[in-house]
Amino acid sequence: MKNTEIDYQIFGEEMQYVSIELDPQESVVAEPGAFMMMDDGIQMETLFGDGSQENTGFLGKLLKAGSRLLVGESLFMTAFTNQQNNKRKVSFASPYPGKIIPLDLSTFNGKVICQKDAFLCAAKGVSIGIEFQRKLGVGLFGGEGFIMEKLEGDGLAFLHACGHVFEKDLTAGEIIKIDTGCIVGFTSTVNYDIQFVGGIKNTIFGGEGVVFATLTGPGKVWIQTLPVSRLAGRILAYATTMRKEEGSVLGAVGNLLDGDGRR
């Protein structure tokens, strides 16, 4: 079944949202909590799974929905369908500062592999499942573990990622080394592996972990400048430790002026 074709527009810079225009009887599915606003006349329906397994019976839906738990997604999704005779809009927002990435799966051989919890919304009919990493080293040290998320179909899907996101086209045999947390996604033709940093000083004192991810072309790669785990770690460190200003007297005055009353 061909996926629903949808029109869209992305707004904002740091905290983006995507507005999707639905023709009569068109539908879009989204993660619970992604909804932002919609026009009157759009009907919401909670689906068991992603709505792409409507004719597979209960067992098929159960297996599909259960697999989504392994990539950190919910068992349920929400479908938004335009029940009116004219166009209506529904909008979805990114859950943290970053970028929303539109993907036309039909231009990527119908499949894109991405990091867990990257999915935001998609045309109804797009399948959101799991992708097992077959190599032991990738599973143990690849940052995303043995399981990543895969989007399959021929329609539009939207990912979200933290920080700035840019695309890189790899030619056949071209290799890039990248921090494992900075990978947003890649096409199915890209080979994903890991490489140890090497050297005792690099491993212990380098601060970059013990492995790189290596991505080998041909194919397209999406890369984020700020993994959400890194952002969360900085916020947690700031919230749970005493700030150390330069100069004890000036530092104390600065804390008083900005309302920091911690002792």
Which range, of 91-105, 152-166, 189-203, averages the lowest pLDDT? 189-203
Query: Is 90 exceeded by the pLDDT of residue 52?
Result: no
Closest CA to 130 of 141, 119, 140: 119
Question: Hey, what are 254's tokens?
Answer: 């600065």
CATH code reported for the domain at 7-161: 3.60.160.10
Start-to-end Cα distance in the chain: 63
Q: Domain ranges for the chain, please list them.
A: 7-161
Q: To the nearest 10°, the Cα dihedral for 223, 225, 227, 232?
A: -170
Q: Which pLDDT band holds residue 242 (cuts at 50, 70, 90)? A: low
Please state, in angstroms and rounded to a whole number, the distance separating the CA atoms of residues 189 and 47: 31
pLDDT tens profile 57-92: 555 555 555 555 655 566 778 999 999 999 999 999
> Which residues fall within 8 angstroms of residue 69, CB to CB, at 6 or more apart?
75
CB 233 within 8 A of CB 170: no
Q: What's the confidence (pLDDT) of residue 200?
A: 55
pLDDT tens profile 224-240: 998 877 777 778 877 77
